[in-house]
Structure 1
Amino acid sequence: MVVAVAVIAAVIAMIPSGTKTLQATVIQNPVIGENPGNASAFTFSKTYDVTIKVITNNDKVVSGATVMLIGAGVAESGITNSDGIVTFSIRPSLGENVNEDHIKMTVKANGFQDYTDEDAITVYRL
């Protein structure tokens, strides 16, 4: 029992104290839809600008954060500017018999816990 308590204490001591949290919001084009006509699988006909803002849990901007988008035919990575903003130009795609998909967003920044939103951007056929 004493050994177990010592192990737990050692593990807790290794957790960085004060690790800050952040959040990211898609502020431009969180939902993208197109009508492909009769196409079963298709790539969207145009490119969409998607803008993301990264802030701390105290509403301060996070510059230099790496933002990654993956899903619906998109695989992009970018760095937030001094305003905590990054913009991507994406051209999603949907597979055969897929009417809706989501683009996952992951954010990493030094001194912060990683942030993930599995459904950050919704892509669908009209």
Structure 2
Amino acid sequence: MAIGIPIKIVVLTIVGMAGLAAMLAFIDNGEGSIPKPIHADVKSSNLIILSAFNDTDDIDMAVEVMDSIKGTHLKKASVVLSGLGAASANLTNDNGHTILRFKKTDFDLKEGEGYLRLDVKANGFQDYASEFVIKIVK
């Protein structure tokens, strides 16, 4: 009886180690599952003076989105500019660029100035956010 228990423990340990080795073989090294950093840059002016626009004029803001590590442009990234009671969203094209449009009347400026927030999201990448990306002045 005493001889059977150590043999069972040895056999179960070997079977358990083989099962653990099989499970570890299926697990990837994990680098592909870590989100990569991105960077977004507003290509138009980061200061908008509303008195320079008519009520019907479009205020276009160009945004470029890139992979921070490789420096390549990201397509189909979701880009949102929001704040002051207005928001505009669009997806980037194949070159990583997008245009976000506003009207002068979209902004609710209770004080003389305010800021727009930029949010960017893309599959496999960390979310990017910038609180004070564009300053809006009456």
Above 0.5 in TM-score? yes
The question of whether the paired residues in 1 share the 8 Å contact of 2:116 and 2:135 is answered with yes
Structure 1 gap segments, 5+ residues each: 1-13, 37-42
Aligned position for 2:71: 59
Query: Where does residue 103 of structure 1 map in the other structure?
Result: 116
Q: Residue 95 of structure 1 aligns to which amino acid in structure 2?
A: L
Flag the structure with more relative contact order, 1 or 2, with Cα contacts below 8 A and sequence separation at least 6: 1
Give unpaired runs (5+ residues) of structure 2. 1-29
Partners of 1:95 and 1:28 lie apart in 2 by 21
TM superposition shift of 1:72: 2.0
CA 1:80/1:69 → structure 2, altered by over 3 Å: closer, same or farther? same
Matched, 1:74 2:94: no
The answer as to 2:45 corresponding to 1:29 is yes
**Could you state the TM-score of these two structures normalised by the residue count of structure 1?**
0.73
Q: Name the CA distance, whole Å, in 2 between partners of 1:48 and 1:29.
A: 11
Deviations 1:55-84 (A, max 9, x none): 011211010100011112321110000000
Find the aligned partners of 2:119 and 2:92 in 1 and give their Cα distance.
Answer: 13
Conserved? CA contact 1:62–1:80, under 8 Å: yes
Which has the larger Rg? Answer: 2
Per residue, is there more helix in 1 or in 2?
2
Q: Which amino acid aligns with 2:107?
A: S
Q: Is the 8 A contact 2:92 2:98 kept in 1?
A: yes
Amino acid at match of 1:85: H
Give the whole-Å Cα distance in 2 for the aligned partners of 1:29 and 1:50.
Answer: 8
Q: Which amino acid aligns with 2:126?
A: Q
Distance 1:114 1:20 in 2: 9
Select 2:107's aligned residue among 89, 93, 100. 93
